[in-house]
Every structure is written in structure tokens, then in C-alpha cells.
Amino acid sequence: MGLLSVISFGTFANTDPITLDWLDLIPQSERAQFDQQGMPLPDHSGSAQVNQSKVGHVRPELNGTLVKIPGFVIPLEGDENKITEFLLVPYFGACIHVPPPPPNQIIYVRFPEGAPVQELWDVVYITGKLKTETISLDLAETAYALEGMAISAYEDEEG
């Protein structure tokens, strides 16, 4: 196991989380454009500032669902040992290197107990209760929020 094996907070009430991929956060009717080429990465060419694309919708049926999703962490609140609020994003550098992904591809995560994240450049799995909630931050706007219950290293889960 890596430095970050499994840190768990709270109970799951004997319910297994639904494991999601980032495309699962996009409504089926909007996925056709991604089926052929996958999720587009931002274009950093040129000198003009590019703003966050606000296209895309959420999947309201995911509201209140216990989910598990992999991603990269962008810390917002906490100290050098634990973070209590962060953004979970689908690729390394999202929101730090403009433009950020669309709001339905960013999850605002609250970890009230504090989550230790030693390797911020590594992919982690976050498990928790997903909400369809718009949150506007300086870095980006998010369309989902998650009450974090567990965090684990991606390679520990994928084997």
C-alpha cells in the first residue's frame, strides 16, 4: 500500500457507493460529443485569457447518492497535515492552469474531519454523498458538491 491507504470517516449504512467516471457526471444527452474523442483538455495556446466554459448540465438523479470517484485534489482549506475543503478535478493541473473544466467536471469536496493528502499530484478515490449544488469560487464554478467520507489511493483500489 502507498502512503495513503484508506482513510474513512462516518458510516455508509451498509450501502456500497456507486463508482463513477467523470463522463458519468454529464447527462446522457450531452455525452455524444465525448464518446469519440474523450474528455477535451484545455487549450493553452495563444495569449488571450480563456474563461471557464459554462456549458453542460448536471444529472439531478445523482443528487443524494453515495458515490466513489477518482480525481486530482486542489486544496482550498486546511493546513500542512489535513485539508477540509478541496476541489476534485479530472486531470492534473485543472483550475490552476486556465481554463478550468466546465462546472459539471469539478466537484467541491468538504471533509469536516480533515483528509490527509500527502501526494497531491497522485490520483485519489473520494467516497461520499454527492449533491447537485452550484458553488462559485475564485478558481472556478462547480456544479457538484460532495460530503467526503473516505479517501484512498487510486493504485490501491485498481490493484
Give residue 148's Cα distance to chain centre: 11
Residue ranges per structural domain of the chain: 6-26+55-158
Three-class secondary structure assignment of 42-91: CCCCCCCCCCCCCCCCCCHHHCCCEEEEEEEEEEEEECCCCEEEEEEECC
Q: 6-26+55-158, superfamily in CATH?
A: Protein of unknown function (DUF3299) (2.40.50.870)
pLDDT value at position 127? 96
User: Are 65 and 12 in contact, with CB atoms under 8 Å apart?
Assistant: no
- pTM of this structure: 0.80
Angle, CA 93 vertex, CA 91 and CA 98 arms, to 5°? 110
SS3 label, residue 153: strand
Residue 116 one-letter amino acid: P
How do residues 124-149 score in pLDDT, each as one tens digit?
Answer: 999 999 999 999 998 899 999 999 99
* 36-59 pLDDT per residue, tens: 555 555 555 655 556 677 768 999
- pLDDT at position 79, please? 87
Which residues contact residue 158 at a Cβ distance below 8 angstroms, ignoring those fewer than 6 apart?
none
